[in-house]
Amino acid sequence: MMRYGSIINGQERNENNRETLAVHNPYNQDKVGELALATRTDLEEAVNNSFETFHSTMKFMPAHKRSDILRRTADLLTERAEEFAETIVQEAGKPIKYSRDEINRSIQVLRFASELAKNITGEVLPMDAAIGGESRMGFVKRIPLGVVGAITPFNFPLNLSLHKLAPAIAAGNTIVFKPAEKTPISAYKLVKLFQEAGLPDGVLNLLMGTGEEVGEPLVTHEKVHKITFTGSLPVGRKIRESAGFKKVTLELGSNSPNILFEDAHIESAVKELVKGAFAFSGQVCISAQRVYVHKSIYEPFLSEYIKQTSALKIGDPKEEDTEIGPMITEKEAKRAKQWIDDAVEKGAKIETGGERNGTVLAPTIMTNVDRNMKIIAEEVFAPIVSVIPFESEEEVIGYANDSIYGLQAGVFTRDIDRAMRVADQLEMGGVWINEISTYRQDNHPYGGVKQSGIGKEGIKYAIEDMTEMKFIGIKLTTNHERDASFG
């Protein structure tokens, strides 16, 4: 049984007298590892070390070197892709085929970051645009912030961590990284991979611990310059309130809508929405939760959707053909089942699914739903989707926007005018046309409006948020006389 400790300045903190926390496989509850928990003293040392490493090392590291380290990490991850995929199966219960997808995306994130590290540019300003500015030159550089605190969730333990670590390194920051306590093993292995790729000690410090013990003091620490957080709305709100003057990026939840107009390609929409609602048991922030279908195609859509959903293979996430594995904990599976039961009490109908067995909740399609049910109003974060008929474009835009969230939406139509009209009116961080809300490509700007978050990720955009502008002006003394002549 492996014990995983925090890593501070390259050294693992894994003494025998530390408090521990077990990591379980969510499918069979096997113990797959143990955490040697970080203390407040570790946190203090990690932040101080990151702060010192920024000033002694990282801010002087040339872009080509940062780029090389990121590229080497991508190469190492490519070599060990299968080992990392198996780790995610074990700690998160993510079916192997989706775990492999996550690794492939993570490799791409590292490669994008490696390329972008060499392309962080500023601008030259037309100083003579201002009266009296004729003899001046001005330019803007983008400089790193210092220490970035990165706090990550369980559902994409590798890729969402890399969406923070890779741009932070590309931009020249140091990092204190707190992964989710339920999925810390991939995080530990990732930090080791960075070490092997040549990242100097202290640039990436890892803290193993809970949100309360380690996350909260990280957020309030005065030597941390930015918090980048992906997780739930209640925790995001708390972070926003306690972060003080720090920059904050919050990537939070949603109850993503998908809209099928009467001219939608039903066959491909059904196929994609099965994946969109049920991949990783719906524990995806942009999972398709509300599917609005024009009444003229509602019946054929629903019957095909039920047919394909009930054929999904439920089972052990390590099996090649498993589509639906466990949820992260039994508590979460019970919570989701409770939301189904509440909706049924209020008049909703279960079209397929609805049964729970331990941590596994069967993929569930609901109809007859309304906005007073949690499965519509809140983020369900479980394999539950609701199908709702509509009649007009105006009506469905109202339904889709009737939410505290606004992360990503899918719109299915072959009418380009309508697609653009609807996309413009949806209150979302992103809209896909003829694609599910659940699709994310790692190089587009990604992040929500309303209570889905603040700021954007997507490497290039995260780098912008992890640097700041510094203006440098020069007064050219030789041009004084010419200045005077222009008054």
Binding-site string for ligand NAP from residue 235 to residue 264, where x marks contact by CB under 6 A and - marks none: x--xx-----------xxx-----------
Contacts with ligand NAP in 316-345 (CB under 6 A)? none
Closer to ligand NAP at the Cβ: 151 or 462?
151
Give the pair of three-digit tokens for residue 3.
């014990």
Report in angstroms how near the CB of residue 248 gets to ligand NAP at its nearest.
11
Binding-site string for ligand NAP from residue 412 to residue 431, where x marks contact by CB under 6 A and - marks none: --------------------
Quick check: helix, strand or coil at residue 427?
Answer: coil
Give the pair of three-digit tokens for residue 467.
């640097």
Classify residue 232 as exposed, middle or buried by CB count within 10 Å of its CB (0-12, 13-18, 19+): middle
Report in angstroms how near the CB of residue 229 gets to ligand NAP at its nearest.
7
Report in angstroms how near the CB of residue 63 gets to ligand NAP at its nearest.
27
Q: Out of 91, 102, 181, 435, which residue is the one contacting ligand NAP (CB under 6 A)?
A: 181
| Nearest to 411, CA basis, from 271, 273, 252 | 273
| Calpha distance 433→414 (Å, rounded) | 9
| Calpha distance 51→202 (Å, rounded) | 9
Binding-site string for ligand NAP from residue 203 to residue 222, where x marks contact by CB under 6 A and - marks none: -------xxx--xx--x---
Distances (CA, A) of 479 to 125, 129, 188: 18, 16, 58
Report in angstroms how near the CB of residue 440 gets to ligand NAP at its nearest.
8
200 binds ligand NAP (CB under 6 A): no
Of 231-239, 411-419, 465-473, 475-483, which segment contacts ligand NAP by CB under 6 A? Answer: 231-239
230 binds ligand NAP (CB under 6 A): yes
Neighbours of 162 (CB within 10 A): 30
| Calpha distance 469→90 (Å, rounded) | 42
180 binds ligand NAP (CB under 6 A): yes
Quick check: helix, strand or coil at residue 293?
Answer: strand
Compute the CA torsion angle 69, 70, 72, 75 (nearest 10 deg).
Answer: 170
Is there a contact between 323 and 95 (Cβ–Cβ < 8 Å)? yes
465 binds ligand NAP (CB under 6 A): no
Residue type at position 226: K
Give the pair of three-digit tokens for residue 431.
């809209």
Closer to ligand NAP at the Cβ: 170 or 285?
285
176 binds ligand NAP (CB under 6 A): no
Contacts with ligand NAP in 144-173 (CB under 6 A)? 151-155, 160
Q: Out of 202, 325, 453, 458, which residue is the one contacting ligand NAP (CB under 6 A)?
A: 453
Closer to ligand NAP at the Cβ: 172 or 383?
383
373 binds ligand NAP (CB under 6 A): no
Give the pair of three-digit tokens for residue 272.
């994609």
Compute the CA torsion angle 25, 31, 32, 38 (nearest 10 deg).
Answer: 110
128 binds ligand NAP (CB under 6 A): no
34 binds ligand NAP (CB under 6 A): no
Residue 412, strand partner residues: 260
Report in angstroms how near the CB of residue 236 gets to ligand NAP at its nearest.
7
Counting residues that bind ligand NAP (by CB under 6 A) gives: 29
| Calpha distance 226→5 (Å, rounded) | 24
Report in angstroms how near the CB of residue 91 gets to ligand NAP at its nearest.
12
Closest chain position to ligand NAP (CB): 211
Phi, psi of 294 (to 5 degrees): -60, 140
Report in angstroms how near the CB of residue 450 gets to ligand NAP at its nearest.
12
Report in angstroms how near the CB of residue 209 gets to ligand NAP at its nearest.
7
Closer to ligand NAP at the Cβ: 212 or 394?
212
- Residues labelled catalytic: 251, 285
Q: Out of 112, 381, 390, 432, which residue is the one contacting ligand NAP (CB under 6 A)?
A: 381
Closer to ligand NAP at the Cβ: 211 or 315?
211
Classify residue 228 as exposed, middle or buried by CB count within 10 Å of its CB (0-12, 13-18, 19+): buried
State the DSSP string of 139-188.
Answer: EEEEEE-SEEEEE--SSSTTHHHHHHHHHHHHHT-EEEEE--TTS-HHHH
| Calpha distance 182→210 (Å, rounded) | 9
Contacts to ligand NAP by CB under 6 A: 151-155, 160, 178, 180-181, 210-212, 215-216, 219, 230-232, 235, 238-239, 251-253, 285, 379, 381, 407, 453
